[in-house]
Chains A and B, each alone.
Chain A
Amino acid sequence: MAIRERWAAVLAGLSLVLLPAALPGLNPNGLNLLAPARAEQPQAKKVLRISAIPDQKAEKLNRLYPLVAAELERQLGVPVVYVPVVDYTAAVTAFRTGDLDLVWFGGLTGVQARLQKPGALVLAQRDIDVAFHSIFIANTGSGLKPIRGVKGLAELKGKRFTFGSESSTSGRLMPQYFLAKGGVKLSDFAGGAPGFSGSHDTTIALVQSGAYDAGVVNEQVWRTSLHDGRANRAKVVAIWRTPGYPDYHWIGQPNLDQRFGKGFSRKLQGAIISWRTTNPQQKQILSLFGAQQFSKSSAANYKQIEQVGRQIGKIR
């Protein structure tokens, strides 16, 4: 009896002592997603938290945005951290609740964020975002052939079709707009509904594997995939390029100047548009963004997106 009791006490003590060691990842800094956003908060006025909609593979985002954070930290002299988010909606929500200071939004999510946070600042966009394009892609085994105009999209009726994220501008909003122009309703696809793969990379992988006959992705991701060989031309081909529309942009919190000092948001904007391919770090960032350089942008550029968003019901 007594022996068993002592044994139990020793065991309990041991487990208490060993637990912290047994869970090495469990320290306040290692608690991914949530902790960085909040842990900094108390002393936090000074940390710039940047994020981005997760439109591509997590590994690519994890390569790109820490670079951006480091470069901005160097340029601005304030600590900058990258906070990953799990989907487009979460990025918008976290921006509204003030958990993120500077976010790389798509056209639609940017408009959603600004509507939810009046006064939010549109800071910059890439050269390619002025007239961005989506590419409709198809599995070579699906029998789909390249099409000429928007009317040709009717070929997609009855096919298994996937968008990217529900809130993607180039992977859902504008494609849906063009599909409607071509007379295709969402219920016309096989299964009565399109899929939502979640990101452009996934769309390419799913269409290439044949899980879907066709899909639609953003042109920049498509080009990169062709370039680095992840998209196999023998299995997946482009069938149509949409007309241009404005897309991605950097949006900042309205209170950046109060928190980081007068003129901070101007400085931030200046830093982003100063990136050039002549600087090795900045060149790496720009090439991961698939751009030559960033330029100033303003809310007025996204009127068309807002209109289409309202039409489709993603903005209310």
Chain B
Amino acid sequence: MLAPAVVLIPVVALLPDLVHGGGFELLADFAQAAFSPSLDPLVVGSALSGLGLTVGIALLGWASSGVLGLGLALASSRQVWTTSCALRWPADLVRRLLALPRSIHELLWGLLLLQVVGLQPAVAIAAIAIPYGALVARVLSDQLDALPDGALAALRASGVPAPQALLTALGPPLLPGLLSYGGYRLECALRSATLLGVFGLGGLGTELKLCLQSLQFHELWTGLWLLLAVMLLLETSLAGLRRRWLMPRRLGLAGPSPGSASPGLATAPAQAPGSGRSPAQSAPADAGLGDADPARLRSQASRPAQPGLPNPLVPVAVPNDGLDVDAGPGGWALAAKTATLGRRGREMVLALGVLAPLLVWLARAMAVNPLALLSWQPLPNLGGASWASVLALPWPQLVGATLLLTLIAAGLAVGLAPLLLLLTAPWPWARPLLQLVWALARLWPPPLSALLLLLLLKPGLVTAALALGFHNLGILGRLLLEARDDNQAPAEAALLGAGVGPRLALFYGRFSSLARSYLAYGAYRADVMLRETVVVGLVGAAGLGSQLLESLSAFAWDQLLALMVVYALLTLLGEDLSDRARRQLLAPP
């Protein structure tokens, strides 16, 4: 689990060479400003309006990606196609096609749309909706196809038409995973919306960038603290809802169990819940893994009630019992209190009822006009493409630097999170501190941390990797902490009781059971980082990302096109690799 941290060795070795220390004064100013953010009503007002726009973009982008993803998931589900038309190939075709929008980072979509459509509020929303929609579609269709088809077959055999049968048999068991994943995507959408702002697509990100560029640190912190408040509020309320509605957690922490193999596309084999944990906890850990683990959903949905579980909640795939299928989790029978079930259903309807008008109001307030996306501006005619100049780009260096950047950043993020937890294990006060630092890391868009790092470090690959790694450390760290807290580890308690130190107890008692799923998630995260390398291009010498920004400012369409294709190819390749790594990690030993 700590293996990825070996990347620290070369990075630390290189650091003395990189540090120039020239910007210490500025950095100190920056740190001091954290305690005295500007409270000027003008500054606060503009930060609030920026924040409103960012949240609006995030919510609308997220909602459209949900709708888009749901539709595309149905279109790319083998189960749906075979049930309704007895065909399978259209599903595979749609799946392949969806790989392309998914492989391109939302920032690139944003910049591309900006070029063809102009400055429109709808651009940022579409930039989030397109890649997210494709991702949601993949996750959902994987889950759909991995669901047990017994109920479906039974319904079909008894003459129920295909659409109803699909809805009844597959809707309810799909819902919990869908909602849990949806919540996670919303968190991502907030981060993406901020990032898009940094590149000029409006909202708080724009203000943050302008403040940092003019070195107005007090104003900068006003925006940062506000954003942090919103982010933490969102994260806690989503976590609260997840607990309240008994939805599956992100990181399935069960020890791998032998015997079950995954039928899903590029997914990990099943993990049966370990003993002493409620099935709800072990259920489809998605974590935006690009593909949730459908087999877990299956194992959970088809498992008979087990006596002796601490939590009486056992999911059983029963047919819908007359509740509204869209909102009612009809497939989840509760052994002890059936009442909870109805409550949850009503609350979900209520949440939907609040969300829908809110979204409409937001769209109106932001003057979003989806039709504007269709009115394309002609691209400038800058003469024929010169493919010679495209070929003349130093491709091997660019690709090499991008991959190296990804590796270093991934090693840093994946390795540092558990290492920091271990090191600070004996001190109770270190934890809130760690949580705060990680929250700031998640919050702070990587291009901004890159700009800050430049005050201390020379520009270059390692600096870019540090910025990217820091951001992802915030995401991974939180997940690890959440997972650690969710699961009681008798082993750790036993070790502690036996007089082992807190670090060792944590390491052997808890991390050992977490390691595989954590590393599997890390593999997925590495693949996200590859896509994200584009955003740290600012610090120079950072591979394809830097070249892309340079080509963009030169309006070199031919180079841009080639760079995007290479990026997409790399990402798809990376996705495949990380899928394999994950499968291996989650495979029974």
Contact = CB atoms under 8 A, between A and B. Distances in A.
Interface stretch (A7-15, A126-134, A177-185, A275-283): A7-15
Interface in A185-206: 190-199, 201-202, 205-206
B219 to A, nearest CB: 9
Contacts of B549: 166
Interface string B52-84: 110010000000000000000000000000000
A192 B460 contact: yes
A241 to B, nearest CB: 24
A113 to B, nearest CB: 10
A34 B23 contact: no
A202 B51 contact: no
A58 B554 CA distance: 24
B214 A26 contact: no
A112 B554 CA distance: 8
Interface stretch (A96-104, A284-292, A294-302): A96-104
A34 B553 contact: no
Contacts of B357: 16
Most chain B C-beta atoms within 10 Å of own C-beta, residue among A34, A86, A193:
A34
B97 interface: no
Given A1-B339, A195-B459, A211 B26 contact: yes
B200 A90 contact: yes
A34 B121 contact: yes
Contacts of B540: 191-196
A19 B121 contact: no
A116 B118 CA distance: 14
Interface string B351-369: 1011001100100011101
Interface in B500-534: none
Interface stretch (A71-79, A144-152, A255-263, A308-316): A308-316
B552 A99 contact: no
Most chain A C-beta atoms within 10 Å of own C-beta, residue among B372, B460, B554:
B554
Contacts of B326: none
A193 B201 CA distance: 27
A136 interface: no
B216 interface: yes
Given A59-B216, A93-B114, A201-B214, A209 B49 contact: no
Contacts, number: 207
A98 B119 CA distance: 9
Interface in B451-474: 454-456, 458-460
A221 interface: no
Contacts of A37: 119
Interface string B188-225: 00000000000111100011011101111000000000
A115 B555 CA distance: 11
B25 interface: yes
Contacts of A117: 380
Contact of B553 (A86, A88, A97, A195): A88
Interface residues of A, number: 73
Given A139-B22, A209-B22, A33 B553 contact: no
A4 to B, nearest CB: 7
Nearest to B557: A316
Contacts of B339: 1
A205 B199 CA distance: 22
Given A31-B53, A33-B206, A115 B553 contact: no
A31 B119 CA distance: 13
B162 interface: no
Contacts of B380: 96, 115-117
Contacts of A192: 459-460, 540-541
Most chain B C-beta atoms within 10 Å of own C-beta, residue among A5, A26, A196, A213:
A26
A23 interface: yes
Interface in A205-233: 205-206, 209-213
B45 A25 contact: yes
A110 to B, nearest CB: 13
A210 B22 contact: yes
A97 B46 contact: no
Given A99-B119, A190-B458, A314-B553, A35 B22 contact: no
B235 interface: no
B459 A316 contact: no
B554 A26 contact: no
Contact of A86 (B22, B210, B460): B210
Contacts of A197: 213
B53 A94 contact: no
B383 interface: yes
A197 to B, nearest CB: 8
A38 B27 CA distance: 38
B50 interface: yes
B541 A212 contact: no
Interface string B109-134: 00000110111110000000000000
A15 B114 contact: no
A39 interface: yes
Given A37-B119, A210-B22, A92 B347 contact: no
Nearest to B540: A193
Given A5-B346, A33-B202, A199-B214, A166 B455 contact: no
B362 to A, nearest CB: 8
B48 interface: yes
Contacts of B120: 34, 38
Given A25-B49, A25-B50, A32-B46, 7 more contacts: A26-B49, A33-B200, A34-B119, A115-B380, A192-B460, A193-B460, A195-B540
27 contacts: A8-B350, A15-B354, A24-B48, A26-B52, A31-B49, A31-B366, A32-B202, A33-B202, A34-B120, A35-B367, A54-B210, A88-B553, A89-B555, A90-B119, A97-B119, A97-B377, A99-B118, A99-B119, A192-B460, A193-B460, A194-B540, A202-B215, A206-B26, A209-B22, A210-B25, A313-B554, A314-B553
Interface of A: 1, 4-5, 8-9, 12, 15-16, 19-20, 23-28, 30-35, 37-39, 54, 57-59, 85-90, 92-94, 96-99, 112, 115-117, 139, 160, 166-167, 190-199, 201-202, 205-206, 209-213, 313-316
CB-based closest 4 A-B pairs: A25-B49, A210-B22, A97-B118, A86-B200
